[in-house]
Structure 1
Amino acid sequence: MTGHVIHLNTEINASPEAVWDVLTDVAHYPEILRSVKATRVGDEPYDVGTSWVEERTFFGHHGEEELRVTECVEPRRTTHETRVDHDSIRSAYVLQPHGDGSTKLLVTATLDITDRTSTERMLWNAFGAHSYNATRKMLEHDLEDIRTEAERRGAQTGGAHRAS
């Protein structure tokens, strides 16, 4: 049972490779994304199975969450998922290149509340709109932050560049 689905997108004046470079730079999320307070990630390259722990608030869940990449098609789309309490959260990113070298970045965030108790669902029905609005605003900020960083990196190098 889906609790909420949020669809957002932004236009980025950078190549899909530069945008991909930012999306997959998990170790630097706290410097890139204002909504992320901290991340802990291993040394493995970004691919299906890569996992990390990040601290932020997402669909009303506060604190640390372990995320895992479940789809990775470089540099076109990626999906990561997390499980928090009784909920599953899925974030899917799609990069659409334009002929002028820019990229449209789309994100779909889905909250699945199937495993919640009836009491938890009742509370969600009463108070879920606040969580939805806060998460939508957070994702809007994420897209702004990704756009800013991808355009900065693209301007510095004329293409993709990993910050150190």
Structure 2
Amino acid sequence: MAGHIIHVHTTIPAPPEQVWDVITDVAHADQVLRSVSDTEVLTEGAYGVGTAWREKRTLFGHHGPEQLHVVEAEAPVRTVVEAEVGDDVIRTAYRLTPAGPDRHSTRLAMTTTVEMSHRSAMSRAMWAVFGGFSYDHSRKVLEHDLEDIEAEACRRATAAG
């Protein structure tokens, strides 16, 4: 049972490869995303399926550390990360599409889903009543993530150029 699905998107004035580098730089997520207060990479090697890390953030009413791992990665087009938080599974998909007349911009779309199939009937009923508050806050967090990704991609593009 999906509790909430949030879609957010923006167009970033940087090429997909630059945006991909920001999204997949999980070691520095706490320096890029204002919603993340701490990051610890748990696996070695380049970003790809199986990459795992722990971060502290608040999303869908969950506060504190959560462990994430990459379940799909197709550079620089799409990646999907997943976290099990309590009885829920939170899954975020990032899709990067070249945009603009010169195709040097990127349309970044994020879809975040919270799967609640393991919750009790009472917990699902409580979510139905009070989940809207969490949804609104989580949407704002994801919109801020897009702003932060854009700012960092533009900063890196300027530093490289």
- Considering the TM-score relative to the shorter chain, is it more than 0.5? yes
Residue 136 (structure 2) aligns with: 133
2:110 to 104, 107, 111: 107
Matches within 5 A, 1:87-102: 87-98=88-99, 99-100=101-102, 101-102=104-105
Residue 26 (structure 2) aligns with: 26
**Structure 1 CA distance, aligned partners of 2:31 and 2:69?**
20
TM-score normalised according to structure 1 size? 0.94
Alignment of 1:65 onto 2:61: no
Query: Residue 44 of structure 1: CA displacement?
Result: 2.2
Query: Residue 157 of structure 1: CA displacement?
Result: 1.1
Structure 1 unaligned residues grouped into runs of 5+: 159-164
**Structure 2 CA distance, aligned partners of 1:85 and 1:139?**
20
Alignment of 1:48 onto 2:49: yes
The alignment covers a number of residue pairs equal to: 158
CA-based RMSD of the aligned residues comes to: 0.8
TM-score normalised according to structure 2 size? 0.96
Alignment of 1:147 onto 2:153: no
Residue 3 (structure 1) aligns with: 3
- The percentage of counterpart residues that share the same residue type is 52
**Structure 2 CA distance, aligned partners of 1:43 and 1:71?**
17
Structure 2 unaligned residues grouped into runs of 5+: none
One-letter code aligned to 1:15:
P
**Structure 1 CA distance, aligned partners of 2:16 and 2:157?**
10
**Structure 2 CA distance, aligned partners of 1:72 and 1:62?**
26
